[in-house]
């Protein structure tokens, strides 16, 4: 009797184990855009009022400007970004065969600079890298996030999920505790979003500027009183891979605007 009760209980626990990544049912999945007030939503949707467009415009200039040294501009090889970059941001991070590791969009831009333009990579969080990344990602606006089904990405994606669910820092929190288990509730006065990276790089009013997903992740980590990884660490790419899978098929919003 007791034994069958235990079995039933075990069965219930197994049944409660979420079948989808992140434990968020597909019908419940929503972007942080939905958590914002109508004024901020309007600001994101109006390109003429959106301060992130300042970076996107800078990125458009950089796209067409040839670097010193005679190498071609981005547009020299890729042409019109509207056509050639459409959908690219929706499938990043992706596998880089040359280096044998997954990379995100800003790494792709910097690799391109190094190998094809023979210039120094742009610094993380520099206005130029954010601008160029935002410009490229904006070309995918409205397209569903579609992570590639490349089996070589699977180990990093698994690692990303493990990091997402691992407790860290002095507060002993994990990403999942807030964004899987308590989304839609509040932490102090702030709404807890599901944490989908739909619009990076994005303009955050708190930052009064543009920032990458890595900056956002570092923010969360210092909030949990954990030591953030350095910019460009493979741990971020792993997390970005898992987050992209978890967010699919929400649409790309770059440049998003968040409080």
Partner 1 sequence: MARALINLPKTAKAGDVIEIKTLISHPMETGFRPGPDGRILPRNIITEFLCRFEGEEIFRAELFPAASANPYLTFTTTATRSGTFQFTWRGDGGFDQTETATVTVA
Q: Is 220 a catalytic residue?
A: yes
Q: What length does the chain have?
A: 259
Judged by beta carbon, residue 92 or residue 203, the one nearer partner 1 is 203
Residue 185 near residue 28, CB atoms below 8 Å: no
Under the binding rule (CB under 8 A), the answer on residue 170 touching partner 1 is no
Query: In this chain, which stretch among 52-60, 107-115, 148-156, 213-221 interacts with partner 1, using CB under 8 A?
Result: 52-60
Under the binding rule (CB under 8 A), the answer on residue 48 touching partner 1 is yes
Q: How many residues bind partner 1 (CB under 8 A)?
A: 10
Candidate residues 8, 57, 72, 76; the one interacting with partner 1 per rule CB under 8 A? 57
Q: How far is the CB of 235 from partner 1 (least distance, A)?
A: 25
Under the binding rule (CB under 8 A), the answer on residue 39 touching partner 1 is no
Rounded CA Rg of the chain: 20
Judged by beta carbon, residue 27 or residue 48, the one nearer partner 1 is 48
Residue 255 near residue 203, CB atoms below 8 Å: yes
In whole angstroms, give the CA distance from residue 142 to residue 31. 12
Under the binding rule (CB under 8 A), the answer on residue 58 touching partner 1 is yes
Residue 202 near residue 254, CB atoms below 8 Å: yes
CA 126-139-204 angle, to 5 degrees, is 45
Candidate residues 51, 148, 169, 232; the one interacting with partner 1 per rule CB under 8 A? 51
Residue 209 near residue 203, CB atoms below 8 Å: yes
* HSE-CB for 250 with a 13 A CA cutoff: 25
Q: What are the catalytic residues?
A: 220
Positions that interact with partner 1 (CB under 8 A): 48-49, 51, 53-54, 57-58, 205, 208-209
């Amino acid at each position: 009797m007791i034994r069958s009760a235990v079995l039933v209980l075990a069965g219930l626990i197994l049944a409660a184990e979420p079948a989808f990544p992140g434990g968020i049912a597909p019908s419940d999945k929503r972007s942080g855009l939905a958590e914002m007030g109508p004024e901020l939503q309007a600001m994101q949707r109006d390109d003429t009022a959106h301060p992130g467009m300042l970076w996107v415009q800078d990125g458009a200039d950089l796209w067409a400007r040839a670097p010193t040294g005679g190498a071609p501009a981005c547009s020299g090889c890729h042409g019109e970004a509207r056509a050639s970059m459409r959908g690219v941001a929706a499938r990043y991070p992706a596998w880089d065969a040359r280096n044998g590791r997954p990379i995100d969009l800003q790494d792709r831009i910097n690799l391109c600079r190094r190998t094809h333009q023979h210039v120094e990579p742009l610094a993380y969080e520099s206005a130029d890298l954010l601008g160029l990344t935002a410009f490229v990602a904006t070309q995918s606006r409205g397209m569903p996030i579609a992570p590639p089904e490349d089996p070589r990405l699977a180990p990093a994606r698994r690692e990303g999920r493990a990091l997402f669910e691992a407790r860290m820092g002095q507060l002993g929190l994990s990403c999942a505790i807030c964004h899987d288990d308590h989304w839609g509730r509040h932490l102090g006065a702030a709404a807890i979003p599901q944490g989908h990276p739909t619009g990076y790089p994005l303009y955050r009013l708190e930052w009064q500027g543009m920032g990458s997903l890595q900056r956002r992740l570092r923010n969360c980590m210092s909030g949990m009183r954990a030591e953030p990884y350095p910019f460009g660490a493979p741990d971020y790419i792993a997390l970005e891979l898992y987050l992209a899978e978890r967010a699919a098929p929400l649409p790309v919003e770059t440049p998003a605007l968040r409080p």
